[in-house]
């Protein structure tokens, strides 16, 4: 498995020195070769909080970090130094749809970490039928205070993958 391009490479921008990402690096456990330990750590933390949107091949997800907030997970997954992967986009959308995030804090943190353009790009990808009140609120906030960066990632992502499948939802309901 080769190295996946980062959001910075995808949008042809530079990666800045981030103390936020360096702090996540210290918390992250080692990952397999070719995987970003910070990225895998954040996916594990989201999965531990019951946002099962991205597959993790690790059997031991570790323990939930009580100091890590949902807004930090979202920004870490969309950080310019993070691998630009389609599997993570659905996870981030499900987190945004939950209504459990402080949108003002998310916006501020994303701006500080230069992930706001990636967040704005992702919000634009979300189909109308998947837009919850929290997504609409975030979309409105991003229109009022747009990102400074004008270069969006050049990912070719089919936004229909963000749609919830009725069959999958019915099967999940039957298992409960």
For residue range 47-64, list pLDDT tens digits in order. Answer: 889 887 666 666 667 789
Instruction: Report the pLDDT value the prediction gives residue 127, as an integer from 0 to 100.
Output: 92
Mean pLDDT value of segment 1-19: 76
Q: What is the mean pLDDT of the chain?
A: 84
Polymer length in residues for the chain: 176
The enclosing H or E element of 93 equals helix 86-97
DSSP 50: T
Distance of alpha carbon 153 from alpha carbon 5, whole angstroms: 11
Distance of alpha carbon 18 from alpha carbon 113, whole angstroms: 7
Q: How many CB atoms lie within 10 A of CB 111?
A: 17
Distance of alpha carbon 81 from alpha carbon 15, whole angstroms: 6
> 23-27, 36-40, 164-168: which range is least confident on average?
164-168
For residue range 100-147, list pLDDT tens digits in order. Answer: 999 999 999 999 999 999 999 999 999 999 999 999 999 999 999 998
CA dihedral 10, 107, 77, 147 (to 10 degrees): 0
Residues paired with residue 6 on neighbouring β-strands, in sequence order = 83
pTM of the model as a whole: 0.84
């Amino acid at each position: 498995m080769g190295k996946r391009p980062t959001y910075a490479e995808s949008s042809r921008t530079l990666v800045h020195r981030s103390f936020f990402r360096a702090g996540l690096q210290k918390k992250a456990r080692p990952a397999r070769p070719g995987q970003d330990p910070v990225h895998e750590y954040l996916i594990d933390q989201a999965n531990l909080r019951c946002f099962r949107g991205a597959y993790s091949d690790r059997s031991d997800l570790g323990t939930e970090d009580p100091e890590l907030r949902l807004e930090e997970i979202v920004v870490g997954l969309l950080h310019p130094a993070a691998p630009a992967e389609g599997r993570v986009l659905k996870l981030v959308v499900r987190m945004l749809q939950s209504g459990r995030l402080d949108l003002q804090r998310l916006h501020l943190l994303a701006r500080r970490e230069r992930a706001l353009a990636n967040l704005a790009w992702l919000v634009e990808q979300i189909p109308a039928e998947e837009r919850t009140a929290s997504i609409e609120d975030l979309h409105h906030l991003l229109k009022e205070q747009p990102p400074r960066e004008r270069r969006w990632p050049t990912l070719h992502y089919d936004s229909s993958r963000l749609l919830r499948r009725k069959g999958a939802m019915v099967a999940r309901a039957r298992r409960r």
